[in-house]
Amino acid sequence: MATAPVPTITGEVVLRLEEETMTMTVTVPVGPTAMIDLLPLANAATGAIVERATARAVAAGRTISCRAGCGACCRQPVPLAPAEARSLAALVAAMPVPEQANVRNRFAAGQAAFAAANVPVRGDRIFGADLAEMRVRVAAYMAAYVACPFLVDESCSIHPDRPTACREYLVTSPAENCRLPTPETIARVELPGSISTAMANADRDLEGVRRVLLIDSLDWVATHPAPASVRTGPELIQHVFAQLSKT
């Protein structure tokens, strides 16, 4: 028996980000909506923001260093909103068996390497700390030099589905500096707003959890069932975009 289509509503969202204004046409469910349902929209919004910021950087004479096949930044801790962690776990679960086994093995090997280096992989252990402590922990994470489980031959194997934090990371400093970046050696393309942070802040309100580390995401999802949706699509999108103005 065919299932009835989910009623949706379409409208325009105006994003005011610093001096930038962007208008997006969005379609969301009318009824209860989970954050994971907004990820395609979050990715589209991130793409639009990054595109504008890139154009501004290029117009200012800067050259984007990021290239296909450069995975220099893919040893950094990747923070995910809980909804993104669930999306990645679903992506892995849907992979063909051999590929899925390889990915799960890389997650396990990465976690073992961090454990051997005595580096925590829980998001709240790294990003929940005060700024000084967070810098120490992030530096320790990067010093362990463990590649993201999705990095294959220095390319992202899930590029169309990569997290928003990865989409937002662009630099004009030498690419090799991303291997062990410091504020002095990295020139990031500044964004007028961060969808990844807005989603994380919105998810904190809904789930009480702000950041999940990518390397911990499969384990975290296995022990954190998705909460029931308590907001309608329009309410949720308003909540996320309200957070965007604070990023």
Give the binding site for ligand SF4 (CB under 6 A).
Answer: 71, 74, 78, 148, 150-151, 156, 158, 162-163, 166
The pair of three-digit structure tokens given for residue 213, joined into one six-digit string = 């580390």
DSSP class of 129: S
Closest distance of CB 8 from ligand SF4, Å: 29
Residue whose CB is less far from ligand SF4, 11 or 174: 174
Closest distance of CB 103 from ligand SF4, Å: 11
Residue whose CB is less far from ligand SF4, 6 or 93: 93
Chain Cα centroid distance, residue 105: 22
Closest distance of CB 175 from ligand SF4, Å: 13
Residue whose CB is less far from ligand SF4, 13 or 158: 158
CA distance 137 to 140: 5
Residue whose CB is less far from ligand SF4, 214 or 236: 214
DSSP class of 230: -
Alpha-carbon dihedral of residues 124, 78, 206, 220, nearest 10 degrees?
A: -70
Alpha-carbon dihedral of residues 173, 179, 181, 187, nearest 10 degrees?
A: 20
CA distance 81 to 127: 12
